[in-house]
A and B are shown apart, each in its own frame.
Chain A
Amino acid sequence: MSRADVLVSADWAEENLNSPGVVFVEVDEDTSAYDGGHLAGAVKLDWKTELQDQVRRDFVSKEQFEALLSAKGIGNDDAVILYGGNNNWFASYAYWYFKLYGHENVKLLDGGRKKWELDGRELSKDAVSRPATTYTAKDQDLAIRAFRDEVVAAIGVKNLIDVRSPDEFSGKLLAPAHLPQEQSQRAGHIPTALNVPWSKAANEDGTFRSDKDLLELYTEVGIDDAKDTIAYCRIGERSSHTWFALHELLGFQNVKNYDGSWTEYGSLVGVPIEKDV
């Protein structure tokens, strides 16, 4: 796997906005961002209402994912180009989610909305509709998804990477600072987890750092592919960004994303927590 297999540049995107077989999909934390202007022809995915089960805390089922993509006009053979705000946090999450359900051809727009806007590239407010398809998903690939029991068993055994900001890792903050801090769960981190903030994997314009820089970043703190690795953050979106850097860009084989992340772990009864403040 190479960088070109999983990332496209803003220039490439601009040249391929109307290419047949290429579908641009915007995924944002702020689900209203799309309505204020999006890449021409891009469809919107709402990570909260469309990718999450609306009753249980879990993802939508394979059948629901099939119905969703069919309705969005995304076919099994389409190249799906994901992008979004927050330096592609939620686009990375959607990328991991598409891989979880077995979509072959999916890529991220490097830099997402941020680079696109900083470059002064065009955004459109035109409504987008695509003809429905009949999408077929695969069963979830659990080789890339970690659940809580595996995470607890991984303490002191596997590489645990906490990709939140240092202040969230230490327990000073409970959420990234653009969100209110009052939460119910405990603050801190999983014992033996290393803090490698997701932001160290990105340049200031939101693009990913070079493979060489990324390899240096993770090997310096002692993470290599000889041991299984589990990445987590608060709700699993920033850790998707790091999962992307490790698994898709660097080609590490044994990397999982713990989507329950701190909002689950920090609410569990009886598990160990380390807090530094």
Chain B
Amino acid sequence: MCGAPAQSPNLPAGTDLTKETVIYGVVSAAGAPVPSAYVRLLDGTGEFTAEVVTSATGNFRFFAAPGSWSLSVLHKDGSARGEVTADGPGLFEVSLSLA
């Protein structure tokens, strides 16, 4: 899940990946990326932490902290959920497919 990602997230200049914990990925449906999906990041207790809308290429990105997180996706054509554990700063990729 961490390590060398196939597709790196689009990060602001100067992002320090030795300090930032970046959770990112693509929302897809039947293999095609889904733009304008609402992706929520929930903390270990299930409480809302942040929400973003996927880009034209279905990408999303959060700046979190080490710990366990859930992701919840809403779109007019379906929903999805995912889990990720960040064991320290760095990049953590999650793929989410609408069902």
Contacts and interface: CB of A to CB of B under 8 A. Distances in A.
Interface of A: 30, 33, 85-87, 114, 117-120, 165-167, 172-173, 175-182, 197, 199, 204-205
A177 B50 contact: yes
B53 A85 contact: yes
Interface stretch (B2-10, B26-34, B59-67): B59-67
A187 B48 CA distance: 19
29 contacts: A33-B53, A114-B38, A117-B38, A118-B74, A118-B75, A118-B76, A120-B76, A165-B47, A165-B48, A165-B50, A166-B43, A166-B45, A167-B43, A167-B49, A167-B65, A176-B49, A177-B49, A177-B63, A177-B64, A178-B51, A180-B12, A180-B20, A180-B63, A181-B21, A181-B63, A181-B65, A204-B40, A204-B74, A205-B74
A178 B62 contact: yes
B36 interface: yes
A87 B16 CA distance: 29
Contact of A181 (B20, B23, B38, B52): B20
Q: Is the interface of B mostly helix, strand, loop or mixed?
A: strand
A173 B76 contact: no
A236 B23 CA distance: 26
Most buried by B among A30, A119, A176, A179: A176
B52 to A, nearest CB: 5
Contact of A117 (B15, B20, B76): B76
B45 to A, nearest CB: 7
Contacts of A178: 41, 50-52, 61-63
A123 to B, nearest CB: 10
Nearest to A119: B76
A182 B16 CA distance: 9
Contacts of B65: 167, 172-173, 177, 181
Contacts of A167: 43, 49, 65
